[in-house]
Amino acid sequence: MDSQTALQEKRRRRTRLIIVSALTAVTVLTAVQVFIHQLSVQGPIASNILIFALVNVNLLLLLVLVLLVFRSLFKIYMERRNNLLGARFRTKLVVAFLSLSLLPALLLFLVASNLITTSVDSWFNIQVETSLQNALEVAQTYYRITQDRVLNAGQQFGQGAVAGDLLGEEAREELTRLAREKLVEHRLSSLQIFDRRGRELARVEEPGGPGGVRLPAASRLVEEALTGKSQSLIQKVEAGDLIRGVVPVVGRGPGGQILGAVAVSAYVPSGLADKAADITVGIKEYKQLRMLKTPLKGIYIMLFLMVTLVILFAAIWTAVHLARGITAPIQQLAEATRAVAAGNLTYRVQVQADDEIGILVDSFNRMTGDLLRGKAELTGANLDLQRTNVELEQRRAYMVRVLESLAAGVLSLDAAGSVNTMNPAAARILGLDPPSVLGRPYTECFPEAEAAPIRLLIERMALTGEGSMDEQVALPRNGQVVTLVVNIRSLTDKAGTYLGMVVVVDDITELLRAQQAMAWREVARRIAHEIKNPLTPIKLSTQRLRKKFAERAPDYERVFDAWTRSGGVLTVPELEERLRVDATFYSWDFRWAYAARFAADARLGGLSRARYLEDSLAAARREHVFFVALAAERPRWAELERPSSAFRVVLVDDLGREVAPSRVERFRRASAEDVL
């Protein structure tokens, strides 16, 4: 926008500079020509300035037209020389138009120039000049005769007044009568007489004559007449010209005195006055034009030359315009074709035409518009495809992260049975190396012995064509047996075409162990409950027995003491205070359960039970379990210490087999948080 504004401002400055230069040139040339002409012939400056200004303006316009014509011809020549598209056709059309217009234009110029030259010469011939001069002399003679008549009438009136001695106060009526007679006799408009002191003695006017004919007594003409001078003048009034004459009134005898003055006026009607004025003006203008005869010829000749050049320029411009109307659309179509070939589908041919060329241009623009819309649709589809690819890539990356974070193993097979994807959990669970497995058939990826169940499931799925399959299999791995849940799903598209399958593998070994441990804990809880149930009535019976003894029954005191204090047997309160036993069941796989049979507080280390417990293992187990169910208050672990070599503390499983000491630590860790 700034560059366009600067360019427009530059063009405006250039236009103003050209106009100012042209006006300056015209002014300077006009001034020089008027000065030179005034030196040779004296004439009115205004008309000279106008004529020479017109000459210079015509000359300037003529130069501009010549420049435009030659500029157009030079452009056509350069276009043809540079082999521009359409230059040859444009040149042929310009030559044809110039040929058709040049001969009539030149003929018109020659005839018009000859005609104007002859006309100007006839305007200024001797007959015209003589006629105008004679008419002017007639008008001047008429005015001169009228002036003489006015002066003679004044002198005769003055002499008659002096002869009749009518200049006194007593003869005013007679003086007025004489003035009327002279007014009618000489066809005057007014007649006035003044005494030597300038006082008006009598005044008569033509009835119906023009107003304003009275001459004031203080007029300069009256004062000069009183000094002995006779004068006349022509005065303009509303209805025409008024010729005035003032003569002195001289007394009788030689060296007579000036007795007064007579003022006489004659009216010339407006028609006659105007004609005389027109004749005067006409002869003056004629003389002025005669001095400008040559410049006038030059003006007319330049005008005709300008008309000729305008005709030539119009022919050239018309030819160029018609050629441009034909070649410009073709040139623009050629440029548009190159632009479209280069990939610019937004290019449009801007041509205003309603003929066949316009139809061609419209068809081309519609074609490029269709191509642009097609390209836009392809671009939009490409962008949609890119966005879809980006979304798919994001989803794929998200699914990869999800699969990598899953604890379950996931791998996919294509329709040919080759492994496409595998997450780290699948590689860890199945013991596979992803780089060496991806892209290979699944039959080569799973070893015969270790992964045979999974391979058989995949083969059965492929043979039966089922949509899904869920199985639990056990696989040996690193000397252990792991339990896996295998879920297989077939993949199909919307048309039902088989694409492959997805295999999901989940290691549930630890889950099964935890479930079986919970089962054994529930069994232990129920056994403890069953053992605890008989304890309450035994306790109540013991309390009633002590109450009976408290009532001082004669034969009960000895028995009560024997049962409650003799031989190291603890009383119920002592048992409740001192005995702390926990029974906990352990599991280290899904098949085995072990119980820590004996656990007690450190305060049980000094107890001895040998004298009161039965020798059988079953009786000892029931006795200890009974104590555990009765007195357990808080979870605390300790090994049961042997008070003497008479007892042996062992850990046994639910089948009565002894547990090796090396596995005791593992049992304790597994059940550290599971206490009944």
Structure tokens, 105: 């234009």
62-93, pLDDT tens digit by residue?
A: 777 778 778 877 887 787 787 776 677 778 88
CB 615 within 8 A of CB 546: no
Using CA atoms, how far apart are residues 52 and 58, in angstroms rounded to an integer?
A: 10
Using CA atoms, how far apart are residues 634 and 460, in angstroms rounded to an integer?
A: 55
pLDDT at residue 410, rounded to an integer: 85
Work out the pLDDT band at 209, boundaries 50, 70, 90. Answer: low
Using CA atoms, how far apart are residues 442 and 222, in angstroms rounded to an integer?
A: 153
User: Which residues, including other chains, have CB under 8 Å from residue 70's CB and lie 6 or more apart?
Assistant: none
149-159, pLDDT tens digit by residue?
A: 888 888 888 88
Q: Is residue 364 over pLDDT 80?
A: yes
Q: How far apart are the first and last CA of the chain?
A: 91
Work out the pLDDT band at 671, boundaries 50, 70, 90. Answer: very low
Q: Is residue 98 over pLDDT 60?
A: yes
pLDDT at residue 485, rounded to an integer: 85
pLDDT at residue 347, rounded to an integer: 81
Q: Is the dihedral of CA 476, 479, 481, 487 positive or negative?
A: negative
Q: Is residue 131 over pLDDT 60?
A: yes
pLDDT at residue 615, rounded to an integer: 42
E-strand stretches of 356-479: 409-414, 419-422, 468-477
pLDDT at residue 582, rounded to an integer: 34
Using CA atoms, how far apart are residues 297 and 294, in angstroms rounded to an integer?
A: 5
Work out the pLDDT band at 198, boundaries 50, 70, 90. Answer: confident
Using CA atoms, how far apart are residues 289 and 122, in angstroms rounded to an integer?
A: 13
Structure tokens, 630: 């009765």
Helix axes 617-631, 509-532, angle to 10 degrees: 90
Using CA atoms, how far apart are residues 517 and 525, in angstroms rounded to an integer?
A: 12
Using CA atoms, how far apart are residues 671 and 585, in angstroms rounded to an integer?
A: 7
pLDDT at residue 322, rounded to an integer: 78
Percentage of the chain surpassing pLDDT 70?
Answer: 68
Work out the pLDDT band at 363, boundaries 50, 70, 90. Answer: confident
Least confident of 10-14, 390-394, 452-456, 555-559: 555-559
The whole-model pTM stands at 0.35
483-539, pLDDT tens digit by residue?
A: 888 888 888 888 888 888 888 888 888 887 788 788 878 777 776 665 555 555 566
More confident residue, 172 or 32: 172
pLDDT at residue 337, rounded to an integer: 86
559-591, pLDDT tens digit by residue?
A: 566 555 544 444 445 444 444 333 333 333 333
Least confident of 466-480, 530-544, 621-635: 621-635
Q: Please report, for residues 57, 571, 593, 622, 645, the alpha-carbon distance to residue 581 in angstroms, rounded to integers and kept in the order given.
A: 137, 17, 19, 13, 21
What is the rounded average pLDDT for all residues in the chain?
72
Q: Is residue 628 over pLDDT 60?
A: no
CB 347 within 8 A of CB 368: yes
398-413, pLDDT tens digit by residue?
A: 877 887 777 788 888 8
Q: Is residue 172 over pLDDT 70?
A: yes
Mean pLDDT confidence for 372-388: 88
pLDDT at residue 617, rounded to an integer: 42
Q: Is residue 605 over pLDDT 50?
A: no
306-321, pLDDT tens digit by residue?
A: 788 788 878 878 877 7
pLDDT at residue 236, rounded to an integer: 78
